[in-house]
C-alpha cells in the first residue's frame, strides 16, 4: 500500500488495489476550503495520470463526508480553483469516481458527490442543499445536476427548503445509488468500488442524466415552485433565483446552465442577505460558548421541578418532558395543579388532533409528569425552575421553601422577566445555586433561552444551564442582571420609540406595516394584541411611581386598556377582531383615541414615511443594544443579535440589529440619533459604546470575538 501525502494537504490519496482512495480530512467538518479544492483536483489529476488506478473513491475523515463550501471564505477574495471547476474535473474523469457518504454531505459536499459517477451512503448520512438558509443557491452545479438526477420537483423541494435527507430517503429519491449495509464507510466504499470494477461499470455522468426528459412535467413543477416561492419567501433574494436556475437546467445546454448558475450564485454571494444569514449561522454557534462552559463542568440533571403551572410553567414543563426528563410540578392548591396539568395535556392533545402524535406517545410522556402542592416533593430534584407570579415577595417566599427542601447542589432557577435575581439569590442561604432561566412564550416552542447570571452564582451552575439548553434544543444567550435582561430591556426601548411615532402622527397600522415590510412577522401593536394589552398595562402601573417624571410618556395604550380592550382575547385592542378573527382590522375608534391624545399632549401630527419609521425604530433598538453590550449585560453584539432573532422575530436575513447597524454604518445610526435628540434629548441619548466605535472607525463586528 503506497501513501502519497500531498504536502500536508487536507486531501490525501493512496492506492488500495486498483482503487485510489481519496480522503478529505479537514476538521471540524471537511469544509471545501481552497486547500481541499486543490487537493481534490490534484487527486483526480493523479488518478488520470496513473495507469494503476482504475477507479477513484472519495471519502471524508471524521464524522462527515463534506459539509459544504467553507463558509468562512465567503466575502474574502476568491482563491482558485473554484469549486464548480473542481466538480467539473471530477465529473470529466474518465475513470469511475465513487463518493461514499457518511455524516453530512451538504451544499458543496453534495455537489462533489453529484459530480462523482456513483454514490453510496450509510445510515446516519445527511444529504442536502441547504445553501438557501445562507442566502445562497447551490453554486457548484447543484442546480443543474440535481434536477437532471432526481427531477425538477424533488430537486426544487430540497433546494428551497434546505432540509436534510436521510440515506434511506436519498436512496429512494435516486440521489444515491446504494445503501451501505454497515456504517463502516471505508469498507462499504471499497467493496462498492471493487464491485463496480468487477462489473465493468462505465463512467456515468450526472450531466447526461435524463430526469428532466419529461419537459411538461418539469415545467409544471417549476411553475408551481415559482408561485409558491413568490408567496412564501417574502423579502428573500435567493429562493426565486433557485427556481430560475432550475428553469435554466430545463432550457439550456448543461455548460450554459452552469454559467447561468454561477452568475446567480455570485449575485447572492454579494448580497447583504447572504452576509446577514452567515452572520446568524456563526452567531448562533458562538453564543453556546460562554466563559463558564469552558471553566466549569455542568452538574448532572436527571430530575426537574417546575413551580407554577400557568402559561410559562406548563410550557416549560412540556419543554423539559420533551427532552425526556421527568418533571414534578408544584402549584398552590389542587385546583391550580389540575389546571396546570390540563395546560400540559392541551399541548399534546393539539399534536394528536393534528396527527403529529399518537395517544400512546402522550401517555408515555405524561407518565413522567407528577404534581404536588407540597414542596417536599422536590427533595430529590436536581433542578427547579420557578414560574410563579411576577412579584418579588411571592418569588422570595418560593425560594425560601426551596432553600428548606432542596438537596445540597440542586440548581434553583427563576423564570422572572424583569425582577432583580441578585435580590432573589441574596434572600436565601445558597445564592451560589441561583440562576435565571428566562424562557419565552410559548416556552415549548420558542427557541430562545436567556441564561441570566447573577453576581454570586457559581460557574458550574451556569455551565449546567447551558447544558440544559442543549438538552431542550434551545438557543442559549448569556445575560447579566438588569431590568429586562437583554431582550425585554431592548424591547421596552424600541416599543417606546414606536409609541412616540404614534403620538407624533403615524398610525399604529402604518407602524405595524412598516415593521412587517422590514421583515418582522408582526408589528409591535399586533404583538400587544396577541399577548394581551393588560400585561403591559399592569407593568406600566407598577412602574408609574418610579418613572422619570421628565421622560415622555405616551398614554394611548392606557386609554385603550381602560376600556377593557386587551386585544384578541377581548375582541378588540389596537385592532378589531370581529367574531374571534385572528387577524385584526383597523379601528376608527382607536384612531379617534389617538387623535384625542395628540390634542391633549399639544402635538400637531405630522406624516412619517415607512422608511422614517424604521429608521427611528431601528435606531432605538441598536442604541439600547449598544448599551446592553457596553454595560456587559450581553457578552458581545452577536448575543444581542441572537436574542432578537430567536425571541423577537427579527428577520434572520438581516442578521440581527447589531449586524444590521454595521451594514447601515454606525456613523449613520449615530447621526440619526443625534438628529432625533434635538426633539427629545432624554430619550435619544447616544450609547457611549456607539460613540466610541464611531470615533475609532470600528463596527460592532470588531467586538464579536469568542467569549
Q: Which sequence positions are flagged as catalytic?
A: 111, 131
Q: Rounded to the nearest 10 degrees, how much is the dihedral formed by the CA atoms of 654, 657, 661, 666?
A: -170
When the beta carbons of 310 and 571 are compared against ligand NAI, the nearer one is 310
Q: Is 370 in the site for ligand NAI (CB under 6 A)?
A: no
Task: Say how far apart CA 129 and CA 158 lie, in whole Å.
Answer: 6
61, three cell numbers: 475523515
Task: Say how far apart CA 601 and CA 603 lie, in whole Å.
Answer: 6
The DSSP symbol for 336 reads H
Report the length, in residues, of the chain.
Answer: 707
Region near ligand 3HC per CB under 6 A, out of 67-75, 188-196, 541-549, 638-646: 67-75
Task: Say how far apart CA 537 and CA 534 lie, in whole Å.
Answer: 5
Q: Give the one residue of 20, 24, 83, 150 binding ligand 3HC; rule: CB under 6 A.
A: 83
Nearest to 315 by CA among 448, 405, 419: 448
Region near ligand NAI per CB under 6 A, out of 61-69, 162-170, 301-309, 463-471: 301-309
Region near ligand 3HC per CB under 6 A, out of 88-96, 103-111, 331-339, 560-568: 103-111
Q: Is 308 in the site for ligand NAI (CB under 6 A)?
A: yes
Q: Is 330 in the site for ligand NAI (CB under 6 A)?
A: yes
Residue 342 Cα distances to 117, 443, 480, angstroms: 56, 16, 34
- Residues 110-149: x/- map of binding to ligand 3HC (CB under 6 A)? -x------------------xx--x-x-xxx-x-------
- Residue 416 contact partner, candidates ligand NAI, ligand 3HC, none, CB within 5 to 8 A by sort of partner: ligand NAI
- Residue 311 contact partner, candidates ligand NAI, ligand 3HC, none, CB within 5 to 8 A by sort of partner: ligand NAI
Residue 665 Cα distances to 146, 555, 570, 650, angstroms: 40, 34, 43, 19
* # residues near ligand 3HC by CB under 6 A: 26
**Helix (H/G/I), strand (E/B), else coil: 11:** strand
Q: Give the one residue of 104, 170, 402, 593 binding ligand 3HC; rule: CB under 6 A.
A: 104
When the beta carbons of 252 and 394 are compared against ligand NAI, the nearer one is 394
CB of 333 to ligand NAI, least distance (A): 8
- Residue 330 contact partner, candidates ligand 3HC, ligand NAI, none, CB within 5 to 8 A by sort of partner: ligand NAI
What residues between 284 and 343 interact with ligand 3HC by CB under 6 A? 285
Q: Give the one residue of 23, 271, 415, 687 binding ligand NAI; rule: CB under 6 A.
A: 415
**Helix (H/G/I), strand (E/B), else coil: 480:** strand
When the beta carbons of 111 and 153 are compared against ligand 3HC, the nearer one is 111
* # residues near ligand NAI by CB under 6 A: 23
* Beta bridge partner(s), residue 585: 576
**Helix (H/G/I), strand (E/B), else coil: 631:** coil
Q: Is 328 in the site for ligand NAI (CB under 6 A)?
A: no
CB of 143 to ligand 3HC, least distance (A): 9
Q: Could you tell me where the beta strands, DSSP code E, fall in 335-376?
A: 369-372
| Interstrand relation of 11-16 and 3-4 (parallel, antiparallel or unpaired) | antiparallel
Asked if 116 and 90 touch (Cβ cutoff 8 Å), the reply is: yes
571, three cell numbers: 375582541
Task: Say how far apart CA 574 and CA 702 lie, in whole Å.
Answer: 41
- Which own/partner pairs from 497-501 qualify as long-range (CB within 8 Å, at least 24 positions apart)? 497/616, 497/617, 497/619, 497/620, 497/621, 497/683, 498/524, 498/525, 498/617, 499/554, 499/556, 499/557, 500/552, 500/554, 500/616, 500/680, 500/683, 501/608, 501/613, 501/616, 501/617
CB of 257 to ligand 3HC, least distance (A): 15
CA torsion through residues 612, 617, 620, 626, sign: negative
Task: Say how far apart CA 664 and CA 649 lie, in whole Å.
Answer: 20
- Residues 420-459: x/- map of binding to ligand NAI (CB under 6 A)? -------------------xxx------------------
578, three cell numbers: 370581529
Nearest to 246 by CA among 229, 232, 266, 269: 229
CA torsion through residues 636, 637, 638, 640, sign: positive
φ/ψ (deg, to 5) at 278: -70, -40
At 13, which helix (H) or strand (E)? strand 11-16
Burial 644-662 (b: 16+ CB within 10 A, else e): bbbbbebbbbbbbbbbbbb
Q: Is 310 in the site for ligand NAI (CB under 6 A)?
A: yes
When the beta carbons of 338 and 592 are compared against ligand NAI, the nearer one is 338
At residue 63's C-alpha, the angle toward residues 62 and 69, to 5°, is: 90
- Residue 317 contact partner, candidates ligand NAI, ligand 3HC, none, CB within 5 to 8 A by sort of partner: none
CB of 171 to ligand 3HC, least distance (A): 20
Asked if 78 and 42 touch (Cβ cutoff 8 Å), the reply is: no
The DSSP symbol for 77 reads P
**Residue 455: exposed, middle, or buried by beta-carbon count in 10 A (0-12, 13-18, 19+)?**
exposed
When the beta carbons of 336 and 444 are compared against ligand NAI, the nearer one is 336
Region near ligand NAI per CB under 6 A, out of 11-19, 50-58, 74-82, 384-392: 384-392
When the beta carbons of 6 and 71 are compared against ligand 3HC, the nearer one is 71
First to last CA, the chain: 46
Q: Give the one residue of 30, 247, 271, 417 binding ligand NAI; rule: CB under 6 A.
A: 417
Residue 467 CB contacts under 8 Å (≥ 6 apart), including other chains: 298, 301
Region near ligand 3HC per CB under 6 A, out of 54-62, 104-112, 438-446, 487-495: 104-112
- Residue 151 contact partner, candidates ligand 3HC, ligand NAI, none, CB within 5 to 8 A by sort of partner: none
CB of 310 to ligand NAI, least distance (A): 2
When the beta carbons of 37 and 438 are compared against ligand NAI, the nearer one is 438
When the beta carbons of 194 and 311 are compared against ligand NAI, the nearer one is 311
587, three cell numbers: 379601528
Q: Give the one residue of 28, 199, 202, 549 binding ligand 3HC; rule: CB under 6 A.
A: 28
CB of 318 to ligand NAI, least distance (A): 13
Q: Is 307 in the site for ligand NAI (CB under 6 A)?
A: yes
Task: Say how far apart CA 413 and CA 438 lie, in whole Å.
Answer: 9
Q: Is 72 in the site for ligand 3HC (CB under 6 A)?
A: yes
When the beta carbons of 60 and 524 are compared against ligand 3HC, the nearer one is 60
CB of 119 to ligand 3HC, least distance (A): 17
- Residue 332 contact partner, candidates ligand NAI, ligand 3HC, none, CB within 5 to 8 A by sort of partner: ligand NAI
Q: Is 394 in the site for ligand NAI (CB under 6 A)?
A: yes
Q: Is 31 in the site for ligand 3HC (CB under 6 A)?
A: yes
Q: Give the one residue of 10, 60, 68, 189 binding ligand 3HC; rule: CB under 6 A.
A: 68
CB of 341 to ligand NAI, least distance (A): 11
When the beta carbons of 389 and 564 are compared against ligand NAI, the nearer one is 389
When the beta carbons of 149 and 613 are compared against ligand 3HC, the nearer one is 149
Region near ligand 3HC per CB under 6 A, out of 35-43, 105-113, 150-158, 337-345: 105-113
CB of 129 to ligand 3HC, least distance (A): 7
Under the rule (CB under 6 A), what is the footprint of ligand 3HC?
28-29, 31, 64, 67-72, 83, 104, 106-108, 111, 130-131, 134, 136, 138-140, 142, 282, 285
User: Which parts of this chain interact with ligand NAI (CB under 6 A)?
Assistant: 307-313, 330-332, 336, 387-390, 394, 398, 415-417, 439-441
Amino acid at each position: 500500500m503506497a501513501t502519497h501525502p500531498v504536502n500536508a494537504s487536507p486531501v490525501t490519496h493512496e492506492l488500495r488495489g486498483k482503487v485510489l482512495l481519496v480522503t478529505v480530512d479537514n476538521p471540524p467538518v471537511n469544509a471545501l476550503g481552497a486547500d481541499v479544492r486543490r487537493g481534490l483536483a490534484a487527486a483526480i489529476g493523479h488518478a488520470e495520470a496513473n495507469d494503476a488506478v482504475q477507479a477513484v473513491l472519495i471519502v471524508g475523515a471524521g464524522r462527515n463526508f463534506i459539509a459544504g463550501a467553507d463558509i468562512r471564505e465567503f466575502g474574502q477574495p476568491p482563491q482558485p480553483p473554484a469549486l464548480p471547476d473542481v466538480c467539473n474535473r471530477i465529473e470529466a474523469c474518465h475513470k469511475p469516481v465513487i463518493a461514499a457518504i457518511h455524516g453530512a454531505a451538504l451544499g458543496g459536499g453534495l455537489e462533489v458527490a453529484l459530480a462523482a459517477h456513483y454514490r453510496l451512503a450509510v445510515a446516519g448520512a445527511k444529504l442536502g442543499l441547504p445553501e438557501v438558509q445562507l442566502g445562497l443557491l447551490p453554486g457548484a452545479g447543484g442546480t443543474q445536476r440535481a434536477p437532471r438526477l432526481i427531477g425538477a420537483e424533488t430537486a426544487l423541494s430540497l433546494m428551497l427548503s434546505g432540509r436534510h435527507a436521510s440515506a434511506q430517503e436519498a436512496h429512494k429519491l435516486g440521489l444515491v445509488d446504494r445503501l451501505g449495509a454497515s456504517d463502516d464507510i471505508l469498507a462499504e466504499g471499497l467493496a462498492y468500488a471493487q464491485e463496480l470494477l468487477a462489473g465493468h461499470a462505465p463512467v456515468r455522468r450526472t450531466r447526461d442524466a435524463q430526469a428532466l426528459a419529461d419537459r411538461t412535467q418539469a415545467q409544471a413543477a417549476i411553475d408551481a415552485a415559482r408561485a409558491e416561492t413568490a408567496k412564501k419567501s417574502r423579502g428573500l433574494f435567493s429562493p426565486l433565483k433557485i427556481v430560475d436556475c432550475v428553469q435554466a437546467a430545463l432550457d439550456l445546454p448543461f455548460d450554459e446552465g452552469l454559467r447561468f448558475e454561477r452568475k446567480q450564485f455570485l449575485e447572492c454571494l454579494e448580497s447583504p442577505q447572504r452576509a446577514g444569514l452567515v452572520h446568524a449561522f456563526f452567531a448562533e454557534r458562538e453564543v453556546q460558548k460562554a466563559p463558564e462552559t469552558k471553566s466549569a463542568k455542568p452538574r448532572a440533571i436527571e430530575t426537574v421541578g417546575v413551580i407554577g403551572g400557568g402559561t410559562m410553567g406548563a410550557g416549560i414543563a412540556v419543554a423539559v418532558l420533551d427532552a425526556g426528563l421527568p418533571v414534578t410540578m408544584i402549584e398552590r392548591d389542587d385546583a391550580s395543579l389540575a389546571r396546570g396539568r390540563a395546560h400540559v395535556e392541551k399541548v399534546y392533545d393539539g399534536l394528536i388532533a393534528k396527527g403529529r402524535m399518537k395517544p400512546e406517545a402522550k401517555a408515555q410522556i405524561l407518565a413522567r409528569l407528577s404534581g404536588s402542592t407540597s414542596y417536599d416533593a422536590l427533595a430529590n430534584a436536581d433542578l427547579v425552575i420557578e414560574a410563579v407570579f411576577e412579584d418579588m415577595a411571592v418569588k422570595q417566599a418560593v425560594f425560601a421553601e426551596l432553600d428548606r427542601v432542596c438537596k445540597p447542589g440542586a440548581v434553583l432557577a427563576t423564570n422572572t422577566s424583569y425582577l432583580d435575581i441578585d435580590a432573589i439569590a441574596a434572600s436565601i442561604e445558597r445564592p451560589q445555586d441561583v440562576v435565571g432561566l428566562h424562557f419565552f412564550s410559548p416556552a415549548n416552542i420558542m427557541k430562545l433561552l436567556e441564561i441570566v447570571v447573577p453576581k454570586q452564582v457559581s460557574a458550574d451552575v451556569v455551565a449546567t444551564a447551558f447544558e440544559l439548553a442543549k438538552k431542550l434544543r434551545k438557543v442559549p444567550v448569556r445575560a447579566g442582571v438588569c431590568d429586562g435582561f437583554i431582550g425585554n430591556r431592548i424591547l421596552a426601548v424600541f416599543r417606546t420609540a414606536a409609541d412616540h411615532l404614534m403620538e407624533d402622527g403615524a398610525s399604529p397600522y402604518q407602524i405595524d406595516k412598516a415593521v412587517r415590510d422590514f421583515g418582522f412577522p408582526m408589528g409591535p401593536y399586533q404583538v400587544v394584541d396577541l399577548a394581551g394589552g393588560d400585561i403591559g398595562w399592569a407593568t406600566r402601573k407598577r412602574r408609574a411611581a418610579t418613572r422619570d417624571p421628565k421622560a415622555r410618556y405616551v398614554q394611548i395604550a392606557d386609554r385603550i386598556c381602560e376600556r377593557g380592550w386587551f386585544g384578541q382575547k377581548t375582541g378588540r385592542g389596537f385592532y378589531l377582531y370581529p367574531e374571534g378573527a385572528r387577524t385584526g382590522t383597523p379601528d376608527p375608534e382607536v384612531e379617534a383615541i389617538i387623535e384625542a391624545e395628540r390634542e391633549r399632549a399639544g402635538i400637531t401630527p405630522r406624516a412619517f414615511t415607512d422608511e422614517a419609521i424604521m429608521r427611528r425604530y431601528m435606531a432605538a433598538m441598536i442604541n439600547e443594544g449598544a448599551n446592553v453590550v457596553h454595560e456587559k449585560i450581553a457578552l458581545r453584539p452577536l448575543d444581542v443579535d441572537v436574542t432578537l432573532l430567536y425571541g423577537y422575530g427579527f428577520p434572520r436575513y438581516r442578521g440581527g440589529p447589531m449586524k444590521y447597524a454595521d451594514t447601515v454604518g454606525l456613523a449613520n445610526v449615530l447621526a440619526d440619533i443625534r438628529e432625533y435628540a434635538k426633539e427629545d434629548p432624554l430619550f435619544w441619548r447616544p450609547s457611549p459604546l456607539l460613540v466610541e466605535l464611531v470615533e475609532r472607525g470600528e463596527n460592532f463586528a470588531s467586538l464579536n470575538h469568542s467569549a
